[in-house]
Structure 1
Amino acid sequence: MEFTADLSALIDVLDSDDVDGYLIDDDSTDSDQRYVSGFTAPDAYQTLVTPDGGVHLLVSGLEYGRATAESNADSVTRRASYDYQGLAVEHGPHEGKIRMLETFLDDHDVASVSVPRSFPTGTADGLRDRDVSVTVEPESIVEGIRATKTDWEIDQIEATQRANEAAMATAEALIASADVEDGVLVHDGEVLTSERVTEEIEITLLRNGCQLDETIVACGADGADPHDRGSGPLEANELIVIDIFPRDKETGYFGDMTRTFARGDPGEEARRRYEVTERAYEAALEAVEPGVTGAEVHDVACDVIEEAGYETLRSDPSTDTGFIHGTGHGVGLDIHEQPTVSPGGGELEPGHVLTIEPGIYDPAVGGVRIEDLVVVTEGGSENLTEYPVALEPAAR
């Protein structure tokens, strides 16, 4: 990671709570761990933040060289420095780890730690048994810090979004160039399926340095469930929802975008729902600026959809059709993080990166969703997405 996290807010909490340090015990799939340490490893390692702002890593010998070269830490220590193997043989792996951590903390004059809510219970209880005070934080301090992106982070997210757009163009071109036979899309003599489009999306992303665990290519009634991945043949005259949320393999930052297409005529009602969704999306984008809350932006989208005669969870909390999710969410090292653009969403600040993604859903008609990725700026917002919005697919 090419920047050093500003942990001043965490240091302030340590000071106010009179705690000696903040300890993370996880692998780098935990985004807080990756963010604070500036390091990635597949096995758990420990990161300690001390009140002077120091960041100290405890890693295996296997990871020591990389951690020394790549991390943002002020110090990196091998487990072997505390004879972990000997402790594990004498006391067992778990107790050996606890005794090693106890000594590591003592070396940094730490007798009390605050830990994230995801901290392993076994590690916490083991440290307490060794007279180390362990307090679980009531709120995720590091996640709150991560919500405000640096210029470097915004550049990485934007780069991932460019790869995302290349993948969307691949998917759209497949749909646009397909033949129609008996109401089904056919490409190069084979039925065009959700799985085939997903495969081509993934190949494009790999060629652009990104990875994708899952994506959504959902046709017809499948698209009426916002998280249905979609399967089977893609049909003409039906709405097709494509939601791609890749992660850059090197930096770890996500992108996120959704477009809805229809090859042929999906019908008057489907077209109307698309137009209403697009108006809600544009109104919500316009509302994003510093000082407004995520809840207020969500209300703007709901206003447009409700005025057009469709239900939202605001107008009917029990509805299973209409606008049945929030308007957006933060994006960064996690695909869903702070802030939230939904009921209860707090104040937006410069540096927040978030999605705007209203939708209207009904199995009888299909689903519509349009999603862009934006950053809150000092004067309003900037759309990080450059991909066109259009119901009719085209080769781009």
Structure 2
Amino acid sequence: MSGGDATPEAAEEGRRPLRTDLRPIVEAVREADAVAFVAVGDRFDDDLRYLTRFSGPDRPYALVVVPDEPVGRAVLCAPALFREQAEREFVAAARASAGEATADSTDDADTGYHDGVAREVRTESVGDHAGERAAAVVDDLVDGASAAAEGDGPTVLAPASIPHDAAVYLERAGNDLASTDAVTDARTRKTPAEVDRLRRVQRAAVAGMARAEAVLAESGVTDTADEKSKGDRRPPLRWADEPLTTERLRREVNQVLAARGVRDAGNTVIGAGPSAADLHYVGDDPIRPGETVLLDISPRGPDGYYGDVTRTFVVDGDGGWERRAYVAVEAAREAALDEIEPGVPAKTVHGEAAAELAAYGFDPNAGEGEAGFTHGTGHGVGVSLHEGPSLSGAGELRPGHVVTVEPGVYDPEIGGVRLEDLIVVTDEGYEILAEYPFGIVPEKRPNAR
């Protein structure tokens, strides 16, 4: 069920600017009998980044979407200094290309936008709060007489994460706010262009993994037979004439990521020995022979999309706990992948992985800090590193879902083993976005520099 290179159609999509179909937002407004949808945030707000494809600034701005004929209308309230960028990323990038069919193509109406939702940028009243500007746009675009029952304010939909102060401005303007999951739902299913971005970042993550594995393969064991027999923790590995630590290895990985045009975003997690049982370890530990080295690499690409890959290695191991754990996690990964296809309940994937780990004697329901499987089997990845769907949550898998498959087992006193790949659900099953070999003993791979 695993696939290879992108199709020509996907490659063509990948050359176009990313753009978001706003029709589900328009439809959510109509279904709720609301008058508008409003989102307020800054460049770090993933919902707003997804909706607008606008990548700045670091102070609040707003998006207003209203139903209109034939489809809808969207207004981005941007700072004046960012108008040119907003026009390019939000408006121009969403225009239909020559010969491209649009969502509203009719004999008498065609907005010229790929989804039929007309877009514009407004920069007036830039000194006002973004919520205040959004309220003014709603008032300008909406006919209040048709908004709601007499005596009630018009309903405006917003993500649950809308800032409190923005919500206050909208309510002071006479609007009734209602929360919507429309953005969350839309983000779960990726377009071919989004999958292309995710694949590119994942390939960079895999290149970083190859570099880390090569460093481990090149590292030397310095302890003597007497020291090895004592049972204490052994001296650290040595690489390039210095003791090897998780921070040194992290720097090697991050150099490769930077060379590939992606940012590590503080997400290069490397643990060794007991710290490998810490799911998010970014500290500095010696890397010792015989202990698990867990590498979880999750860079972010220039379009905001993440990669996510994990492997575990042991240099000069003795085939004890770490070998048994590795075999169990490999089996759990295969069991999880065997379940992935459209229509399968997401919880089924987690259940099969957990059952396989239990068959190998590991606690499939361990709590944080306990020995065993302490997390879900996978999560969605997109413009957020963790987004829907969850493989331990409700709902069924659908084509376009991009999720991690990452079973793992941990013992806080010994270490941890996790194996993780990023897959997209397809009509037939799934595709691994960037494959990487398995093996507990590190090797020098061909694509490692």
The equivalent residue for 2:406 is: 357
How many pairs align?
A: 379
SS at match of 1:49: strand
Deviating beyond 6 angstroms after TM superposition, the runs of 4 or more aligned structure 1 residues are: none
The equivalent residue for 1:376 is: 425
Aligned 1:73-84 pairs, distance under 5 A:
74-79=118-123, 81-82=124-125, 84=126
Contact 2:370 2:412 in 1 (8 A): no
Contact 1:312 1:319 in 2 (8 A): no
Contact 2:423 2:430 in 1 (8 A): yes
The equivalent residue for 2:56 is: 41
Name structure 2 gaps, 5 residues minimum: 1-15, 95-117, 144-153, 224-234
Match of 1:28 among 24, 30, 43: 43
Name structure 1 gaps, 5 residues minimum: 86-92
| CA separation of 1:132 and 1:364: change in aligned 2, threshold 3 A | closer
Aligned 1:198-217 pairs, distance under 5 A:
198-212=250-264, 213-217=266-270
| CA separation of 1:9 and 1:197: change in aligned 2, threshold 3 A | same
CA-atom RMSD in angstroms:
1.8
Contact 2:276 2:293 in 1 (8 A): yes
Q: Distance in 1 between matches of 2:369 and 2:273?
A: 19
The equivalent residue for 1:300 is: 352
The equivalent residue for 1:347 is: 396
Letter in 2 for 1:18: D
Letter in 2 for 1:361: Y
The answer to whether 1:114 aligns with 2:157 is: yes
Match of 1:54 among 73, 78, 84: 73
The equivalent residue for 1:70 is: 89
The equivalent residue for 2:380 is: 330
Per the TM alignment, residue 99 of structure 1 is displaced from its structure 2 partner at its CA by 4.7
The TM-score normalised by the length of structure 1 is: 0.91
Tell me the alpha carbon deviations over residues 315-365 of structure 1, each in whole angstroms, 9 at most, x when there is no partner: x668811111100000011000000011x3420000000000001111233
Aligned 1:1-396 pairs, distance under 5 A:
2-42=17-57, 43-52=59-68, 53-72=72-91, 74-79=118-123, 81-82=124-125, 84-85=126-127, 94=129, 99-109=132-142, 111-137=154-180, 140-182=181-223, 183-212=235-264, 213-248=266-301, 250-313=302-365, 320-342=370-392, 344-396=393-445
Contact 1:277 1:358 in 2 (8 A): yes
SS at match of 1:211: coil
Letter in 1 for 2:377: T
Tell me the alpha carbon deviations over residues 251-287 of structure 1, each in whole angstroms, 9 at most, x when there is no partner: 1110100000011114322111110110101111121
The equivalent residue for 1:90 is: none
Q: Distance in 2 between matches of 1:195 and 1:281?
A: 28
Question: Mean alpha-carbon deviation: is it higher for 333-342 or for 25-34?
Answer: 25-34
| CA separation of 1:12 and 1:221: change in aligned 2, threshold 3 A | same
The TM-score normalised by the length of structure 2 is: 0.81
Contact 2:64 2:74 in 1 (8 A): yes
Q: Distance in 2 between matches of 1:145 and 1:120?
A: 21
Q: Distance in 2 between matches of 1:13 and 1:339?
A: 20
Q: Distance in 1 between matches of 2:160 and 2:382?
A: 20
| CA separation of 1:392 and 1:318: change in aligned 2, threshold 3 A | closer
Q: Distance in 2 between matches of 1:362 and 1:134?
A: 47
| CA separation of 1:103 and 1:9: change in aligned 2, threshold 3 A | closer
Contact 1:37 1:55 in 2 (8 A): no
Q: Distance in 1 between matches of 2:256 and 2:217?
A: 17
Q: Which one has a larger percent strand, Structure 1 or Structure 2?
A: 1
Q: Distance in 2 between matches of 1:99 and 1:169?
A: 50
Contact 2:132 2:166 in 1 (8 A): no
Letter in 2 for 1:373: L
Identity rate, percent: 37
Contact 1:7 1:145 in 2 (8 A): no
The equivalent residue for 2:6 is: none
Tell me the alpha carbon deviations over residues 172-213 of structure 1, each in whole angstroms, 9 at most, x when there is no partner: 111110112233211111111100111111111111111112
Q: Distance in 2 between matches of 1:7 and 1:162?
A: 29
Letter in 2 for 1:47: L
Q: Distance in 1 between matches of 2:209 and 2:119?
A: 43
Contact 1:260 1:369 in 2 (8 A): yes
Per the TM alignment, residue 32 of structure 1 is displaced from its structure 2 partner at its CA by 1.2
Letter in 2 for 1:6: D
| CA separation of 1:98 and 1:395: change in aligned 2, threshold 3 A | closer
